[in-house]
Amino acid sequence: MNAESRARLNQTPEWTALAAHREQLGEVRLRDLFAADPTRGTAYTLHVGDLHIDYSKHLVTGETLTLLRDLAAATDVFGLRDAMFRGEKINTTEDRAVLHTALRAPRDAVVMVDGENVVPAVHAVLDRMSAFSEKIRSGEWTGHTGKRIKNIVNVGIGGSDLGPAMAYEALRSFTDRDLTIRFVSNVDGADLHEAVRDLDAAETLFVIASKTFTTIETITNATSARDWLLTELKAGQDAVAQHFVALSTNAEKVSEFGIDTANMFEFWDWVGGRYSFDSAIGLSLMIAIGPDRFREMLDGFHLVDKHFRAAPPESNVPLLLGLLGVWYGNFHDAQSHAVLPYSHYLSKFTAYLQQLDMESNGKYVDRDGQEVDWQTGPVVWGTPGTNGQHAYYQLIHQGTKLIPADFIGFAEPVAGLAPGLVAQHDLLMANFFAQTQALAFGKTPDEVRAEGVPQELVPHKTFKGNHPTTTILAKELTPSVLGQLIALYEHKVFVQGALWNIDSFDQWGVELGKVLAKRVEPALTEGAEVPDLDGSTTALVAKYRDLRGR
Ligand SMILES: O=P(O)(O)OC[C@H]1O[C@H](O)[C@H](O)[C@@H](O)[C@@H]1O
C-alpha cells in the first residue's frame, strides 16, 4: 500500500475518535467501572484453546473496545492477516512471504508460495527431525568413538537460540532426564567454555542453528566447538559428521563449514528468525521432549492460528491484546509492557518475547518509508512474577509510570513435584491473584487511615491502583499450551504492526552495529592502525588496548 492509498494513521477519523474518547474518559477508575457493572469480572473474558483471558482490569469501557476495533477495521488488520496466511509477500522490504503459520499446518493443508504448496516440504523435514531425534534418544546414533550421545549443545543466537532455549526450560518436566541440553549463544568465549567444560566430547552432539549460517557469533562459536571436539577426541575432520548437525536455510554455507548436508535440517526464507523455533530450529527441543510432544506443541500453535484467522473481532484474542497495547501506547503514552509469568518454567519466556516484539515492531518508518508520528512497539520486560514482587513491583504499584502488564499463571503445578512442593502452588497462585487485585484497586487514603496509620505516613501507604493488567490462566503448562501462548503473542505483535503500518518482519536496525564491529575489530589487535573512528570510540579503543597491554 502506498502513502496515497492509506491515510496517515493519526489522521483517520477512527484515531481522532479514540483520542476524543480518551479525553472524555479522563481518569476513569477501575473501582468505578466494577461498581457500575457487577458482571464485568466475567463479561470481560475470552477463551482460546486452553487459555482463559481476563481483560476486565483494563481502563476500557465497551465503547473503548468498539472504537479500537473500528481502528483495526479502518487499517485493514484482517486484510493483512489474510494476505499473510495466503502466502503473499507482506515482508515488503525483503520481498518475502511470512509463513511461520505453515510450519504448524496439518499434513493435508495447502499453503502456496510462488505457485508451490510448501506443506509437504514442512512435513518431510519434521519427519526427518523426528527420525533423527529418536535415534539420539534411543542411543542408536553414536559418536565417533561409538559412545551414545548424552549431551546436546545448541549453538545459535537470536531466533536460533531464544525460542528453543525458552521452550526447553518451559517444558523441562517433559524432557528426557538422561540427556543434558545446553544453549550457547554469546560470542563471549565464556559461554562455550562453561557449556562444555564438564562434558565428554565423545558423548556430545553440537546442533548449529543459524538461518543464514553467516552470523558471526554462531560461526565463531561453531568453529571453536569443532576445535574443542577434535582436540578432545584427538581425531581428524572425519569425526565431525557424527557430532555436528546444522539447522539452516543455507546449504552452501553449511557444507562450506564442513557439515555434511545429509546432516542438515532445512527451513525456508519465508520463516523469520524470531518466528522460527517451530521449524527445524526446534531440533534440540524435539530431542529433549520427543517428537510426539513437539507435534503436540505445533498443534497448540495451529489451534491459535485458526482462531486468529476465523474468530470475529469481538472474540478474537490476539486482536484484543494487540488493541489494548495500542490503547496504552498511543493514547496513554505508556512506554513499556511487562510480561510476568507465575511459573518458574517460564523464566525465559519474557526474554523470548523481547525479540519477538521489539525486533518486530521497533520501527520508526512505515511500510512506505515515511517516518511515523505515532508510537510503535513498547519496551517489553519482566521476569517470573514472584521474584519481581520483591524487586521492581514497587515501581509498578507506586511509581509514576503507567505499565500495563500480562500475568500468566496455571491452575496445576507441573507433574513430578514432591507433595510438599505441590502444596506451595496455592501460595504461588494466591500471589498471582493478589497482585492484579492490588494493582487494579489499590488502597485509598481513607482505607489506610482506618487502619490507624499516622497521617504523615498515609500517602506512603496509599496505593492509587488503576494499573491495568491482563490475566492469562490455563489449567497446566503442557507442550500444546506453550504453543498456544506463543502463537497468541506472535499474532498480537502482528496486529500491532499491521495497525501501525510498519513491516514487522524485517530487522534492518540490527545491521549497523554488525558492520561497525567488523571495522573496529582489527583495531583491537596489537600494533594495528586505528581506523577513522569518532572521537569517543577512538579513545575507548585506545584505553582497551592500553588495559590489555597492546
Ligand atoms: O539464525 P541466524 O541467521 O544466525 O540469525 C540469528 C539472529 O541474528 C540476526 O542478527 C537477527 O537480528 C535475528 O533476527 C536472528 O534471529
Query: From the alpha carbon of 215, which atom of ligand 1 is closest?
Result: 4
CA of 214 to the centre of ligand 1 (A): 9
Calculate the alpha carbon distances from 295 to 24, 127, 186, 478 in Å.
49, 11, 29, 12
Q: Is the pTM of this model over 0.90?
A: yes
Mutation test residue for ligand 1: of 154, 213, 215, 279, the one with most atoms within 8 Å of CB: 215
Q: Which residue has the cell 564442513?
A: 258
Residue 5 pLDDT: 53
398, containing H or E segment: helix 393-398
Residue 209 pLDDT: 98
Q: Which residue has the cell 556430545?
A: 204
Residue 71 pLDDT: 98
Opening angle at CA 159, ends 158 and 161, nearest 5? 70
Tell me whether strands 405-410 and 336-341 are parallel, antiparallel or unpaired.
parallel
> Annotated catalytic sites, by residue?
359, 390, 514
The edge-to-edge listing of strands for the beta sheet with 151-155 is 180-184, 151-155, 204-209, 244-248, 264-266
Q: Is the CB of 218 under 6 A from ligand 1?
A: yes
Q: Which residue has the cell 517444558?
A: 171
> What residues in the chain have per-residue pLDDT under 50?
1-3
Residue 531 pLDDT: 74
Residue 176 pLDDT: 84
CA of 95 to the centre of ligand 1 (A): 18
Distance CA 442, CA 437 (A): 8
Residue 416 pLDDT: 87
CA of 160 to the centre of ligand 1 (A): 7
Whose Cα sits closest to atom 11 in ligand 1?
158
Mutation test residue for ligand 1: of 154, 160, 361, the one with most atoms within 8 Å of CB: 160
Residue 164 pLDDT: 98
Q: Is the CB of 246 under 6 A from ligand 1?
A: no
Q: Tell me, what's the ipTM?
A: 0.98
154, containing H or E segment: strand 151-155
User: What is the tens place of the pLDDT at every residue in 399-433?
Assistant: 999 999 999 999 999 888 999 999 999 999 999 99
Q: Is the CB of 480 under 6 A from ligand 1?
A: no
Query: From the alpha carbon of 217, which atom of ligand 1 is closest?
Result: 4
CA of 159 to the centre of ligand 1 (A): 6
Whose Cα sits closest to atom 9 in ligand 1?
158
Helices 317-331 and 13-25 sit at what angle, rounded to 10 degrees? 70
Q: Is the CB of 158 under 6 A from ligand 1?
A: yes
CA of 395 to the centre of ligand 1 (A): 33
User: What is the tens place of the pLDDT at every residue in 504-530?
Assistant: 999 999 999 999 998 899 899 878 887
Mutation test residue for ligand 1: of 93, 157, 504, the one with most atoms within 8 Å of CB: 157
Neighbours of 547 (CB within 10 A): 8
Q: Is the CB of 510 under 6 A from ligand 1?
A: yes
Q: Is the CB of 164 under 6 A from ligand 1?
A: no
CA of 389 to the centre of ligand 1 (A): 33
